[in-house]
Amino acid sequence: MAETERLRLGVNIDHVATVRNARGGDTPDPLRAARLAEEAGADGITAHLREDRRHISDADIEGLMATLNVPLNFEMAATDEMQAIALRHRPHAVCIVPERREERTTEGGLEVAREENRLAHFIAPLAEAGCRVSIFIAADRRQIEAAHRIGAQVVELHTGAYCDAHAEGRFQERDDELERLREMATFGHSLGLEVHAGHGLTYETVPPVAAFPEVRELNIGHFLVGEAIFRGLTPAIAEMRRLMDAARG
Ligand code: PXP
C-alpha cells in the first residue's frame, strides 16, 4: 500500500492512566503501554492532559516525550496552561478539544465557529513552534469551514454519535451519522485539510470509517484498553490494525 494511502492508527493511552490512578500508585504504567502499542503497530500515541489530571499526568507527558519513537499527539483544551505546556514540550501534534469538568469523556466537538478569533490566536504560536495543529470537531460543515479559516492543518471528526447509535441499536441514525462523516471527510479534504477521526471506535464500528479514503488517521483508546484485559494490549491493537487495513484494502 502506498505510504500516502496508509491509514495511521493513533493509540490513546489515557485509560491506562485511569486504571493506575484508581489506586494512586505507579501501575499499570502508561509509558509501558505506549511502548507496547508502538511494537504492535501504532503509528502514534495520543494522550489527553486534562485540566483536572484525572488520567494522564504532567510526568506522563514528560516521560512520553523523552521515550517515544513514534509521534505524540498531545490532546489539550484551549487554555493558557495547556498552551504553555505544549510550547514547552513541542510535541509532534496537538489536538485541541473541548473540555468540561463534569463530563465523563470528550462529549462533543469544539465550537470553532463561535470562537474563531480566540482560537486563531490560540493555535498560531503552536503552529509556529512546529506542532501540527488538529481541531476536534463534529462532522459539521460550519465547524470545518471555521477550522480551515483559523489555520488548522487537521480536523479530527468526532465519531461518538455514530458509535453510540450503533451500540444502542439505532441503526438508521447510525447510518445517517456515517453518511454525514463520509460527506464531511470529503468536504474537509477538498479544503486542503488533513482529516482524522475518532472517539468510541470499536472492532464493529471501525471498518466503514477506515474505508473513507480521505481519512488519514484514527485515534482509538477506550475500547483498546478494555479489550486488552481479555486478549492483551498487543493482540488487541494488532486486530484493530488488521481491520483498518482490510477496510482500506
Ligand atoms: N480523539 C479525541 C480527540 C478524543 O478526545 C478521544 C478520547 O479521548 C479519542 C479520539 C479516543 O476516543 P476513545 O477513547 O473513545 O477511543
Q: Which sequence positions are flagged as catalytic? A: 48, 75, 199
Asked if residue 4 has pLDDT above 50, the reply is: no
pLDDT of residue 108: 77
- For the stretch 14-40, pLDDT in tens is 999 999 999 999 999 999 999 999 999
User: Is 195 or 1 the better-scoring residue by pLDDT?
Assistant: 195
User: Which range, 97-101, 108-112, 205-209, is most confident?
Assistant: 205-209
Q: Which domains does the chain have, with CATH numbers?
A: 2-248 (3.20.20.70)
At residue 2, the pLDDT reads 42
Give the pLDDT of residue 147: 98
Which of 168, 138, 159, 164 lies closest to 212, judged by CA? 159
Among the residue ranges 105-109, 146-150, 173-177, the one predicted with the least confidence is 105-109
Q: For the segment 110-145, what is each residue's pLDDT rounded down to a tens digit?
A: 999 899 999 999 999 999 999 999 999 999 999 999
Check if 154 has its Cβ closer than 6 Å to any atom of ligand 1. Answer: no
Evaluate: CB of 222 within 6 angstroms of ligand 1. yes
Instruction: For 101-117, write each residue's pLDDT tens digit.
Output: 666 666 778 999 899 99
Give me the mean pLDDT over the 161-165 stretch: 98
Question: Distance from the CA of 244 to the center of ligand 1, in angstroms?
Answer: 17
CA distances from 145 to 6, 148, 162, 233, 244 (A): 25, 5, 21, 37, 28
Query: What pLDDT does 159 receive?
Result: 98
Entry pTM: 0.96
Q: What is the pLDDT of residue 99?
A: 87
- Asked if the model's pLDDT at residue 196 lies above 60, the reply is yes
221 CB under 6 A from ligand 1? yes
- Mean of pLDDT values over 65-76: 97
C-alpha 164 – ligand 1 centre gap (Å): 13
Whether the CB-CB separation of 11 and 42 falls below 8 Å is answered with: yes
What's the mean pLDDT in 186-198? 98
Q: Is 94 left (phi over 0), alpha (psi -120 to 50) or beta?
A: beta
Is pLDDT of 1 > 50? no
CA distance 11 to 20: 17
| Residues 6 or more apart whose Cβ sits within 8 Å of residue 63 | 31
Ligand 1 and 12: CB distance under 6 A:
yes
CA of 199 to the centre of ligand 1 (A): 4
Q: φ, ψ for residue 22 (rounded to 5)?
A: -60, -25
Query: Which range is least confidently modeled, 53-62, 95-104, 154-163, 199-208?
Result: 95-104
- Mean per-residue pLDDT, 201-216: 98
* Residue minimizing CA distance to atom 7 of ligand 1: 199
